[in-house]
Amino acid sequence: MPRTPATEIIERWPKESAEAAQLVIDAHGEPDEFTDTLLVWYEVSGCKRVMASKAFFAHNFPVPHNDSVTSVIDYAVPPEAVGALATFDGSVMVDRTAGEVSARCHDEQANFLALNLVNDIVTGAKDPQQAREYYSKEFMDYRRKLPTPYMEQLRFEPVEGTADPDSRTLSDQDLEQAAAEGKERQG
């Protein structure tokens, strides 16, 4: 295998994260950005970005494995759905301000599975328990060499413009008044 900047970097990583990173390199080639601890590809596999990190996290759902590959998409999650997503899978992260959802697992296929189930939960097609059961079923189907449609690709189209900067609660007048009160206390 030819040595590239990315392969030289991951040679210094723990086996758990280096093997996962190599899968992403094999799928997409050299990353668009890299540091000693992170490789990043933009606009691949239908995702906004895919990241492979030196850091990895033990995760027991649906079986013990290590998470070190993150797939990020633009996706608006209503605040009331965030708890359901956390119940479904602790490696699903919601960034409401950026309008992003990510899944972190051992490979992109597992991330597709999680992100497709995120969409099912948010749209009401499945509740968190049904999503966990489906995840486990498709994981087993993969081992059985049966079709795994949720692992092949995203089954929905992420849309841009999902950022939610939230609502302002303090006015400029409030800030000016607080600053004036602060000056009075000091003076």
Whole-angstrom Cα distance, residue 14 to residue 72? 23
What DSSP state is assigned to residue 99?
T
Mean pLDDT (10-residue bins), the chain, 187 residues:
86 97 97 98 97 98 97 97 98 97 97 98 98 98 97 95 95 95 89
Neighbour tally for 4: CB within 10 Å: 14
Q: Which of 22, 95, 110, 19 is nearest to 59 (CA)?
A: 110
Say whether 55 sits in a helix, a strand or coil. strand
Helices then strands, counting H and E runs in the chain, come out as 7, 6
CA–CA separation, 11 and 104 (whole Å): 21
By DSSP bridging, strand 92-95 and strand 47-59 are: unpaired
Please tell me the predicted confidence (pLDDT) of residue 187: 74
Write down the pLDDT at residue 151: 98
Query: Distance (Å, rounded) from C-alpha 118 to C-alpha 113?
Result: 9
Which residue is associated with the tokens 């649906």?
62
What is the DSSP annotation of 67-91? EEEEEEEE----GGGHHHHHHH-TT
